[in-house]
Amino acid sequence: MNNLSPFHLAIPVKEITTTRSFYRDILGFKEGRSSDHWVDFDFFGHQLVIHIKDDKKNIEVENKVDGKYVPIPHFGVVLEWNLFSEFEKRIRSHVEFIIEPYIRFEGQKGEQKTMFFKDPSGNALEFKTFKNIDQLFEK
């Protein structure tokens, strides 16, 4: 896999204090610059910014995948196989999973682990890992 350029993602949040603590203290992301209305985080080498937006209107949509209801929209990062397990252990007692960690395509091309949960403002996150990262974009 080639070196990736860090992406920048800004998301709306209902309030700053609890959401800031969730990303910093629960998920363990290093905090960068901030103001009263936004906070930057190092999201596995990418820049995630939470912006307070009091009138956030969530359009909650789901798509059925593997018999599970996947929230749309969602975002996250593809982690290294062992890092996924470490991250899962660290957050397990602090988040309520929408979809518990499980393996998709076990023993097949594209074998992966995935998990979904929401931040305190209702933003859905997915973290996943591939047994063979070279299969990330294979059909």
| Strand positions, DSSP E, the chain | 8-13, 30-34, 38-43, 46-52, 61-65, 68-72, 75-79, 97-104, 112-118, 124-130
Domains belonging to the chain, first-starting first, are: 7-53 (3.10.180.10), 63-139 (3.10.180.10)
Residue 47 has a pLDDT of: 96
Residue 22 has a pLDDT of: 97
Nearby residues of 21 by Cβ (< 8 Å), 6 or more positions away: none
Residue found under tokens 């299969």: 135
Provide φ and ψ at 8, rounded to 5°: -120, 125
- 67 neighbors 52 (Cβ within 8 angstroms): no
Tens of pLDDT along the chain (139 residues) come to 467 789 999 999 988 999 999 999 999 999 999 988 899 999 999 999 999 887 656 556 777 788 888 888 899 999 999 999 999 999 999 999 999 999 999 999 999 999 999 999 999 999 999 999 999 888 7
